[in-house]
Amino acid sequence: MKVALITPFDLLDLAALSDYHLLLPQYFTNTRYREFYNDVDGYKILDNGANEKYSIDFRDLQDIALAWGVDEIVVPDVMGDAQGTIELVRSFEKYAQPDTFRYAGVAQGRTLAEVIRTINLYHVCDWVTTLALPRILNTIHKTQRFNLIEPVAKEYKFDAIHCLGGSSWIREVVAIDALQIVRGVDTSLPIVLGLHGISLSDDRYISRQSNYFDRVVERGSLTWKVIYDNVTRFFDWAGAKAPGSVL
């Protein structure tokens, strides 16, 4: 399974270890971030900003996608809100450019029945090719996202499944990779933990720091070594091997 690392600006060299990337539209105006993702190789997915509570116009989202030359766009959604997501998807549909981009529809809802409603919508939208399963699904049940993967793959004909974010079930990625179904996952978890000096293997969860993207880490420091160990461990758990080294 592929891994897209969500890193602070100072640690973008860790993101370059992978050939799979999730790009955040709110940082397109940051020169360092924009130029890094202009140049880095690999499959590029443009997020819609919902997880960071960032609102963006549909046209602006696709203009950024064109400027960055991304492969896929995450369709606008509302966190935990099936009806709100369905309404956004229907509004966005007339702006979709399926000849230029792939689109990932995000399953949302506060109950399993609501989540299935959004999945059914994407199933009949022939311009949506990827199903994105967000970590918030695990608020329904601690293993809900994992539990959905095999039934969805069996019942629906999406080209790919992507998992949005790393959840508080630290080793969820191990279970997901074992299914050999999911294309990839994006996460900041190994770095978030490392910034607190916590090893991924400790099975402790901490939410992302409010100043996360501005954090600076001295190379060779203890914090750097914990972060790097966490990153390589996460790659291993996901069944993905980082193609290079920045040590």
pLDDT band at 149 (very low <50, low <70, confident <90, very high): very high
> Per residue, what are the HEC states of 3-49?
EEECCCHHHHHHHCCCCEEEECHHHCCCHHHHHHHHHCCCEEEECCC
Residue 44: per-residue pLDDT: 98
Q: Please report the pLDDT score of residue 73 as a whole number.
A: 98
Domains in the chain: boundaries: 2-188
Q: How confident is the model at residue 242 (pLDDT cuts 50, 70, 90)?
A: low
146 Rama class: left (phi>0) / alpha (psi -120 to 50) / beta? alpha
Instruction: Extract the tokens encoding 9.
Output: 């600006």
Q: Which helix (H) or strand (E) holds 175?
A: helix 172-179
Residue 227, phi then psi, degrees to nearest 5: -60, -50
How far apart, in whole angstroms, are the C-alpha atoms of residue 75 and residue 162? 13
The reported pLDDT for the residue numbered 175 is 98
Q: Quickly list H helices, 52-111.
A: 58-68, 82-92
- Which of 111, 108, 110 shows the shortest CA–CA distance to 119? 108
What confidence category does residue 243 fall into, taking pLDDT thresholds of 50, 70 and 90?
low
Q: Which class would CATH give 2-188?
A: alpha beta
Residue range 157-183: mean pLDDT, rounded: 97
